[in-house]
Amino acid sequence: MSGDIAVTLTFHTIRFKKVKKAPSRKEGMGKIMRLFPEDKRMVKRKRKGMLSAFKGFSLIEVLLVIALVGMMAFMLMPSISNTLENRDLENKAKEVLLAMQRAKFEAVKTKINHRVRFQQFGGSWTYFIERQTGTATWSRISGFIGNTIPSKFNVTIGFPDDSVVFSPMGFVENYTTGQDNLSIQNPRLDESHNIRLVTVFAGGAVDYFDPYTSGT
């Protein structure tokens, strides 16, 4: 027909091409191992070595480490014990020294005689700082409750009447030649290094030292 519009439809066939999926890592390794059987055995050995590296310590290894630690502790124990005992001896001697110095300071400050007096209770020695309140009377000062030298130490008091008296001038009022020191011995230490001496001088000075290292 002359007035009609001719429509031509053309159909095209669309074909979808299937895309191959990329092989996984496991599949890729499988192919490589099939191609190279020698490498397969090598990879297995490496995996086995890696697994064994993460298994931890065996019982024998643990026992060996424990034994080594025990041996080292046993070897170091005497040295540690000696260090602690020596420090304890030093501290006790320093405590006596500080008590002497405080008594001297209080005597000079208050212009009253002060003394450090030692008393034995059982196997221990205890010392106090006292202030003279009369001709022959003394009272303990406040703020110093007393210190004790434990019975594990051998203590020898070489002061007259087991006391050291400081005058208001800071001198040792009861100083006596040959009765001017206190010794503290720790029998747990070697005999060549187990004594500390606390010595007073007529002028009021106080010192403590190791007689073996001082050359006296």
* pLDDT of 158 above 60: yes
Inter-CA distances, 77 with 65, 108, 185, 199, Å: 18, 47, 21, 33
Query: Do the beta carbons of residue 198 and residue 153 sit within 8 Å?
Result: no
Which three-class secondary structure state does DSSP give residue 77? helix
Q: pLDDT digits over 98-117, tens only? A: 999 999 999 999 999 999 99
33-56 burial, b for 16+ CB within 10 Å, e for fewer? Answer: beeeeeeeeeeeeeeeeeeeeeee
Query: Do the beta carbons of residue 140 and residue 116 sit within 8 Å?
Result: no
Determine the Cα angle at 114 with ends 195 and 180, to 5°. 30
Among 165, 149, 163, which residue's Cα sits nearest to residue 202?
Answer: 165
Please tell me the CATH code under which domain 85-214 is placed.
3.55.40.10
Task: Please report, for the chain, the start and end positions of each structural domain, with discontinuous segments joined by +.
Answer: 85-214
Q: How does strand 124-132 pair with strand 114-121? A: antiparallel
* Runs of H (alpha helix) within 13-58: 25-35, 37-53
- pLDDT-derived band at 139 (thresholds 50, 70, 90) equals very high
Query: Do the beta carbons of residue 198 and residue 154 sit within 8 Å?
Result: no
Q: pLDDT digits over 16-33, tens only? A: 455 555 556 556 556 655
pLDDT score of 29: 58
DSSP string, 85-142: HHHHHHHHHHHHHHHHHHHHHHHHHHTS-EEEEEEEETTEEEEEEEEE-SSS-EEEPT
* pLDDT of 9 above 70: no
pLDDT score of 35: 54
Inter-CA distances, 109 with 41, 42, 152, 167, Å: 93, 91, 36, 11
Quickly count: other Cβ atoms within 10 Å of residue 166's Cβ. 28
Determine the Cα angle at 170 with ends 94 and 90, to 5°. 5
pTM of the model: 0.66
pLDDT score of 2: 46
